Amino acid sequence: MTAVSDATDTILRLRAEVCALHEQLTRYQLVVWTAGNVSARVPGQDLLVIKPSGVSYDDLTPANMVVCDLQGRVVEGEHAPSSDTEAQAYVYREMPHVGGVVHTHSTYATAWAARGEAVPCVLTMGADEFGGEIPVGPFAIIGDDSIGRGIVDTLRDSRSPAVLMRNHGVFTIGPTAKAAVKAAVMCEDVARTVHISRQLGEPLAIDQQHVDALFDRYQNVYGQR
């Protein structure tokens, strides 16, 4: 095995993985039509793998995923990449620990984003996954670095892997694409439950010490070793 064929294998594996993870977006109804996407960093290569733009989830295959460099330029693939590629490439450039990025307009999270309001931490699930509130990022127009910068500026000093971009939707990050998808699923679930709770009164606060303890335990103890 040469280094070149190793790199090729890694990209092939990530094409399949990124393609398959989109099924979780439709399964949990986080996206409609073609409005949402998953990307993954290619480790050690300044590349990313992302959904093609405007292609239906039913028509996604490993082969039509697009490989771009971290400036968002296509390196491999016959399709135009997602229109969110620039934003996601910015995140990979600025946050070296990020291995996956997800974008959705999931309903409840986007409803908070339209009011520019963070989702308060009133559920143990919120403390587990987000370590506090789910923060709001700035209004930013597509087409330059401003969405990417808004994501990075908001998440850099937060424990949350999710940001609600104002009037727009959700971006989540994770060490892997799968972790970013999980954060997107959890973000919508928490945003929905807290929304519904607040419809009939005020949810009770969770003490900061408990939020810290829950976050710490979930990040370090939960799941299989």
The three-state secondary structure class of 166 is: coil
Helix (H) or strand (E) holding 127: helix 124-130
Cα-based distances in Å from 2 to 8, 13, 16: 10, 17, 21
Contact 183, 174 (CB under 8 A): yes
Burial of residue 90, with CB atoms counted within 10 A of its CB: 0-12 exposed, 13-18 middle, 19 or more buried: buried
Segment near its own copies (CB under 8 A), from 5-13, 41-49, 79-87, 151-159?
79-87
* Largest distance between two CA atoms of the chain: 62
Query: Which one-letter amino acid corresponds to residue 74?
Result: V
* Contact letters for its own copies, residues 147-166 (x by CB under 8 A): -------------------x
Q: Of 10 and 34, which has the nearer Cβ to its own copies?
A: 34
Segment near its own copies (CB under 8 A), from 43-51, 68-76, 88-96, 201-209?
201-209
- Minimum CB–partner distance for residue 8 and its own copies (Å): 25
Pick one of 143, 153, 175, 208: the residue that binds its own copies (CB under 8 A): 143
Number of residues that bind its own copies (CB under 8 A): 61
* Contact letters for its own copies, residues 33-72 (x by CB under 8 A): xxx----------------xxxx-----------------
Contact 127, 214 (CB under 8 A): yes
* Contact letters for its own copies, residues 87-126 (x by CB under 8 A): ------------------x-xx-xxx-xxxx----xxxx-
Return d(Cα 192, Cα 25) in angstroms, integer.
16
- Residue 157 phi/psi, 5-degree rounding, is -110, 25
| Positions that interact with its own copies (CB under 8 A) | 28, 32-35, 52-55, 79-80, 83, 105, 107-108, 110-112, 114-117, 122-125, 139, 141-143, 166-169, 182, 185-186, 189, 192-204, 206, 210, 213-214, 217, 221-225
